Chains A and B, each alone.
Chain A
Amino acid sequence: MSVLFPEEAKAAIECLLFVAVKPLSIAELTELVGLPADDVQELLVQLGQEYNRNKHGFHLTRVGNGYRLCTRPEYYPYVEKLNKSGPTGLSAAALETLAIIAYKQPITRGEIELIRGVKVDRLLTNLMERGLIKEVGRKEVPGRPILYGTTEQFLWHFGLRDLAELPELEE
């Protein structure tokens, strides 16, 4: 591929964001368009501004360490009309379990159960299948129980940039 002019590079990035099935990181975009990271960053900023200035129906958002296009919340009623059934949210039990893992990772199943006071084995399987948590190792105690942590997908699901964005727990 030949060297891209800035305008072309911007269009190339836009096109990649359009087809991407997951948020794209600066590193990934850098490799894909063959420009230094600073330039990619600058072009992303420009794209974001253009979408805002021209009041497009979608905008550029950052989740985890990636960027992606998504619809503007104010037009959600129209999206809802198109997609009769939106995605259902996670259950209260799933959210509680995720909250504990997010704040206390790496954490074992037993430790989660101690806090919640209920069994969570089926929930953990479910959250693993949804890609929201993953096994991150084993605790070096008898029985070497599995340690769990949250994934990049967890950040995407809740629109978080990183775990530091979670509010402090009340003391």
Chain B
Amino acid sequence: MSYRVKLDAFEGPLDLLLHLIEKEEIDIYDIPIAHITQQYLQYLATMQELDLEVTSDFLVMAATLLEIKARWLLPSPPASGGEENVPPADPREELVERLLEYKRYKEAAEYLRQREEQMRHCVPRPVTDILVADGLNQMPQLQVSLPELIKALRDVLARMNQSEEAMELEREKITVAQKMGEILDQIAINRRGLAFSEFFSPRASKLEVVVTFLALLELIRRRRVVVRQGQLFGPIMVYPV
């Protein structure tokens, strides 16, 4: 191997290219495309030898590099229409733009990393309240067990208007994401919490009930709401976080 890098340490093909450019001390505005393409492909080959997965992003970039190289080496077709002699566009231009833009955000990310490091040394009081989303990857504490939730859902379904002659109205398409928004809006107005059953209108279709239930579960998972049961067999209440 001509060079050794920590394999798999790159955030993507652009990151790898930047690394190669810096390592070879190349002027980013004048990339020796054949050379860098060779280096890049060599790296991919090494990854494959080591049985590391070469993701499609890396392969797409390899194809891009080869295409640029081909256009770079081939004489450009004569300009049609006898126009002024416009210099042909540099096929590397777009790649350079992308590399520069990526580099800017990589630097911004480094700034964020430093800020994060400083913040790590400035610790707030630990959160004792389990109802709080603290952004740590702990599972939300369910104040209500899943069976109890399911039972509440069954009650809702049982209460539903199940008369046979219910009119089939045009089915509204409602997504879980929409429903989540609705629930959050409802709860924002009622900060003291709402009973679980209040989210289900008696005239809701079965589909809507299921979607609502899924939306609630998703909100619990994302710790945007919390459900609690004040007393045994009491109503299940949903609170904003």
Residue ranges of A at the interface with B (Cβ–Cβ < 8 Å):
18, 21-22, 61, 68-73, 76, 79, 86-87, 89-90, 92-93, 95-96, 98-100, 102-103, 115-119, 128-132, 153, 157-160, 166-167, 169-170
CA distance A103 to B104 in the complex (A): 11
> Is the C-beta of B124 less than 8 angstroms from some C-beta in chain A?
yes
**Can you name the residue of chain B whose Cβ is closest to the Cβ of A118?**
B12
> Is the C-beta of B133 less than 8 angstroms from some C-beta in chain A?
yes
CB-CB under 8 A from A69, the residues of chain B are: 124-125
Q: List the count of A-B residue pairs having beta carbons below 8 Å apart.
A: 121
A76 contacts B123, C-beta separation under 8 Å: yes
**Can you name the residue of chain A whose Cβ is closest to the Cβ of B14?**
A117
Stretch from B27-35, B105-113, B185-193 at the A interface? B105-113
CA distance A76 to B124 in the complex (A): 11
| Contact mask for chain B residues 215-226; partner A; CB cutoff 8 A; 1 contact, 0 none | 000000011000
A21 contacts B132, C-beta separation under 8 Å: yes
**Can you name the residue of chain A whose Cβ is closest to the Cβ of B134?**
A21
A117 contacts B98, C-beta separation under 8 Å: yes
CA distance A62 to B4 in the complex (A): 45
A170 contacts B122, C-beta separation under 8 Å: no
CB-CB under 8 A from B61, the residues of chain A are: 117
Interface residues of B, dominant DSSP:
helix
A116 contacts B14, C-beta separation under 8 Å: yes
Could you tell me the distance in whole angstroms from the C-beta of B225 to the nearest C-beta in chain A? 13
Interface residues of A, dominant DSSP:
mixed
**Can you name the residue of chain A whose Cβ is closest to the Cβ of B129?**
A21
A166 contacts B111, C-beta separation under 8 Å: yes
Given A96-B106, A131-B135, A132-B135 in contact, is the A117-B12 Cβ separation under 8 Å?
Answer: yes
CA distance A115 to B222 in the complex (A): 28
- A-B interface, 8 closest residue pairs, ranked by CB to CB distance from nearest: A118-B12, A99-B108, A73-B121, A76-B121, A95-B109, A158-B115, A117-B14, A99-B109
| Contact mask for chain B residues 153-179; partner A; CB cutoff 8 A; 1 contact, 0 none | 000000000000000000000000000
CA distance A98 to B105 in the complex (A): 9
Interface hub of B13, B105, B107, B135 (most chain A Cβ within 10 A)? B105
> Is the C-beta of B102 less than 8 angstroms from some C-beta in chain A?
yes
B134 contacts A158, C-beta separation under 8 Å: no
Between A and B, 18 residue pairs with Cβ closer than 8 Å are A21-B132, A69-B124, A70-B122, A70-B124, A73-B118, A76-B122, A76-B123, A89-B116, A89-B117, A95-B113, A96-B11, A99-B105, A117-B15, A117-B102, A130-B135, A153-B135, A158-B115, A169-B105
> Is the C-beta of B127 less than 8 angstroms from some C-beta in chain A?
yes
CB-CB under 8 A from B133, the residues of chain A are: 131
CB-CB under 8 A from A118, the residues of chain B are: 11-13, 55, 57
**Can you name the residue of chain B whose Cβ is closest to the Cβ of A90?**
B116
CB-CB under 8 A from B98, the residues of chain A are: 115, 117
